[in-house]
Amino acid sequence: MKPAFPTIVCKDAAALAEAAAEKFLYLAGNAVPGPLTVALSGGSTPKKLYEILAQPRYAEKIPWERVEFFFGDERAVPPDHKDSNYRMAHEALLSKVPVKAHRMEAELSKAAEYEKVIRERVHIGSKGIPRFDLVLLGIGTDGHTASLFPGTAALNEREKLVVMNEVPQLNTRRMTVTYPLLAWAKKIWVLAPGAEKRKVVQECLANPAAPYPVASVKPEPGEILWWLDKESAERK
């Protein structure tokens, strides 16, 4: 049976990060006139990707002046906090290459201000909504993506592009992009390696209406690609 979403399967998480880096190099090199606008994700798999991109074999080839980074979600913590997505990306990549990056000030609840930055810096499509060239997403074992968690208010947002989302199951709140913004991305990469992701991945691939937030990420005029490894791609 054909999967509900296009997939690419790599040997393991390291091979996945390497393949994604190659594809990113191609996208950045062809971002003319640019910039290539990219929303970054937190998590261990994106971290591997960022670390590879920071290595000279990629960093010296990528035209960083044609790249501009944003974030898809952030915890409500300062940028130097150990749980900060920005801190992870900064340590793995941003501090090592000359690239423009826009941090989410989630600890100050500045969701409206971040939406304004996106509207000012990202190309506006025909529907009046910014169109990221690339959005990186992960998947939680509960099926959340960005900070769109099951049962939370942000899942029902249809107007705002960035919101503060209360996540009672984690006793916290986070800043996150919303479905209206994700729906108009040109490309979305869902990075989902690992056996712990298998159940959610397989349910979503079998059923595009699976009851997980990530299954509702469907860019209407764009492309989505699920990056898996052998463990998450294995059908049980």
Domain assignment of residue 220, yes or no: yes
Domain assignment of residue 108, yes or no: yes
Domain assignment of residue 148, yes or no: yes
Domain assignment of residue 141, yes or no: yes
Domain assignment of residue 236, yes or no: no
Domain around 178: 7-230
CATH number of domain containing 25:
3.40.50.1360
Domain assignment of residue 235, yes or no: no
Domain assignment of residue 164, yes or no: yes
pLDDT at 31: 81
Domain assignment of residue 54, yes or no: yes
Eight-state DSSP code of residue 142: T
pLDDT at 34: 76
Pairing between strand 172-177 and 162-167? antiparallel
pLDDT at 2: 79
CA 200 to chain centre: 17
Number of domains in the chain: 1
pLDDT at 1: 66
d(CA 62, CA 179): 30
Are the C-beta atoms of residues 40 and 46 closer than 8 Å to each other?
yes
pLDDT per residue of the chain (236 residues) written in tens, 0 to 9? 678 899 999 999 999 999 999 999 999 999 877 799 999 999 889 999 999 999 999 999 999 999 999 999 999 999 999 999 999 999 999 999 999 999 999 999 999 999 999 999 999 988 899 999 999 999 999 999 999 999 999 999 999 999 999 999 999 999 999 999 999 999 999 999 999 999 999 999 999 999 999 999 999 889 999 999 999 999 86
> 171-175: which pairs have CB atoms within 8 A and are 24 or more residues apart?
172/75, 172/76, 173/76, 174/73, 174/74, 174/75, 174/76, 174/106, 174/147, 175/73, 175/74, 175/76, 175/104, 175/106, 175/109, 175/110, 175/111, 175/114, 175/147
pLDDT at 4: 87
pLDDT at 33: 79
* pTM metric for this prediction: 0.97
Asked if residue 63 has a cis previous peptide bond (ω within 30° of 0), the answer is no
| Listed residue (125, 127, 132) closest to 31, CA to CA | 132
